[in-house]
Chain A
Amino acid sequence: MSWLDFFRSRKPEPATADQAKERLQIVLAHERIGRTREDFLPKLQQEIVMVVAKYVAIDPGKVNVSLDRGGDMSTLAIEIDLPGPQGAGLRRAS
């Protein structure tokens, strides 16, 4: 930083307080529910994976789970790589 910077007008920081409020409202809405009943999403995810595993041999390393807790809506995305016929065949052979 050069001494000339002192004279340059500093850029105004973007206001972040609104973001703070919005993030708080969402996280607290979820945490308050958790106080009265258990957060079912982690369990739901576990059970879905278990059901799939009952029918298909899945590689636990190939299960991607992402959860986005939102204000109006939460999204739970579970991506499971199912082995193709070749993959399944190879596995049987090994």
Chain B
Amino acid sequence: MAEVIVVTSGKGGVGKTTSSAAFATGLAQRGKKVVVIDFDVGLRNLDLIMGVERRVVFDIVNVIQGEARLNQALIRDKRVDTLSILPASQTRDKDALTKEGVGTIIEELSKDHDYILCDSPAGIEKGALLALYFADQAVVVTNPEVSSVRDSDRILGVLQSKSKRAEEKRDPVKEHLLVTRYDPARVEKGEMLKLDDIREILAIPLLGVIPESESVLRASNTGTPVVMDAESIAGQAYKDAVGRFLGEKVEHRFLEAQKKGIFSRLFGGRAA
């Protein structure tokens, strides 16, 4: 039986897809059989971030409507062989997703995967609700910014009331906080919410802190999940988060501003 993990946030643009891609790849790099599903029907992007956009033939809606078999729609990653991607449809609207259809897909994927990651769309409408409905665990992606924290709190409420686990009154969905775009230098200047403040407000266990880093844009430009960039501090932070997820004790890194020497002050050079 696979664990179903939803990557969600409420707010858009905080890094759900980047985190889904990095997390799925990170888990697969650790030998786990992983499939990552894009739930953003109409605005699919996971394929681009994963660098498989030219290999998309069928998508999740084709499978739900019986136009393709699940195996035909799954795209196997060429870099990590235990990783596959199920893309969203770009042309249909969100109503093409049904609870029964998604349930059947997840049940079938469960048989031969360890983890099923659901990359949620923004908002709390149908696509987002379906992405979290079957979840056993949730990674709540939050930026150190008021609207993102508020929306994360809202989505936590939705997880606690509208997930399948909540409806069936089973053990609640296990929640993890993933803070992204964290800029320790701005935190030190008092311009950005501190990690401890976010933790205090949302009060869920911290999985990881991904520092603001230029490598994230570089990764999306090239369609390489940032976790594959061993030089990148964001990539390393995702790798650490994956380790913690698998139960390892890994210290949090990149929480302090890097001291800049006069040379890098003069000639730029930001976080890798």
Whether A associates with B in a native complex is yes
Q: Are B154 and A31 in contact (CB under 8 A)?
A: yes
Also in contact, A15 and B191, with CB within 8 A (given A25-B201, A28-B201, A35-B157): yes
- Minimum C-beta distance from A33 to chain B (A): 11
A-B contact pairs, 12 of them (CB 8 A): A15-B189, A16-B191, A17-B190, A17-B192, A17-B193, A20-B145, A20-B146, A20-B197, A24-B149, A31-B153, A32-B153, A32-B157
- Minimum C-beta distance from B188 to chain A (A): 10
A21 at the interface (CB under 8 A from B): yes
A52 at the interface (CB under 8 A from B): no
Q: Are B150 and A27 in contact (CB under 8 A)?
A: yes
A5 at the interface (CB under 8 A from B): no
Interface size on A, residues (CB 8 A): 16
**B190 to A, closest residue via Cβ:** A15
Q: Are A21 and B201 in contact (CB under 8 A)?
A: yes
Q: Digit string of A1-43 for contact with B (CB within 8 Å is 1, else 0)?
A: 0000000000011011110110111011001100100000000
**B196 to A, closest residue via Cβ:** A21
Most buried by B among A16, A18, A21: A21
> Which of A17, A27, A35 is in CB contact (< 8 Å) with B197?
A17
* Residues in B146-174 with C-beta less than 8 Å from chain A: 146, 149-150, 153-154, 157, 161
Q: Are A24 and B157 in contact (CB under 8 A)?
A: no
Also in contact, A13 and B197, with CB within 8 A (given A23-B146, A24-B146, A28-B153): no
Hey, which chain A residues are within 8 Å of B193, CB to CB?
Answer: 17, 20-21, 24
- Minimum C-beta distance from B270 to chain A (A): 19
Starting from the known contacts A17-B191, A21-B194, A27-B150, 15 additional A-B residue pairs (CB-CB under 8 Å) come to: A13-B191, A17-B192, A17-B197, A20-B193, A21-B193, A21-B197, A21-B201, A23-B146, A24-B201, A28-B150, A28-B153, A31-B153, A31-B154, A32-B153, A32-B157
B interface with A by C-beta (< 8 Å): 145-146, 149-150, 153-154, 157, 161, 187, 189-194, 197, 201
Q: Are B146 and A17 in contact (CB under 8 A)?
A: no
Hey, which chain A residues are within 8 Å of B146, CB to CB?
Answer: 20, 23-24
- Minimum C-beta distance from A17 to chain B (A): 5
CA–CA, A35 and B166, complex, Å: 15
Hey, which chain B residues are within 8 Å of A28, CB to CB?
Answer: 150, 153, 201
Q: Are A18 and B190 in contact (CB under 8 A)?
A: yes
Hey, which chain A residues are within 8 Å of B157, CB to CB?
Answer: 32, 35
Hey, which chain B residues are within 8 Å of A35, CB to CB?
Answer: 157, 161
Sort A-B residue pairs by CB-CB distance and give the 8 closest, nearest first. A15-B190, A21-B197, A17-B190, A35-B157, A20-B146, A28-B153, A20-B193, A17-B193
Hey, which chain B residues are within 8 Å of A15, CB to CB?
Answer: 189-191
Q: Are B194 and A17 in contact (CB under 8 A)?
A: yes
* Residues in A32-70 with C-beta less than 8 Å from chain B: 32, 35
- Minimum C-beta distance from B212 to chain A (A): 15
> Which of A12, A13, A17, A24 is in CB contact (< 8 Å) with B150?
A24
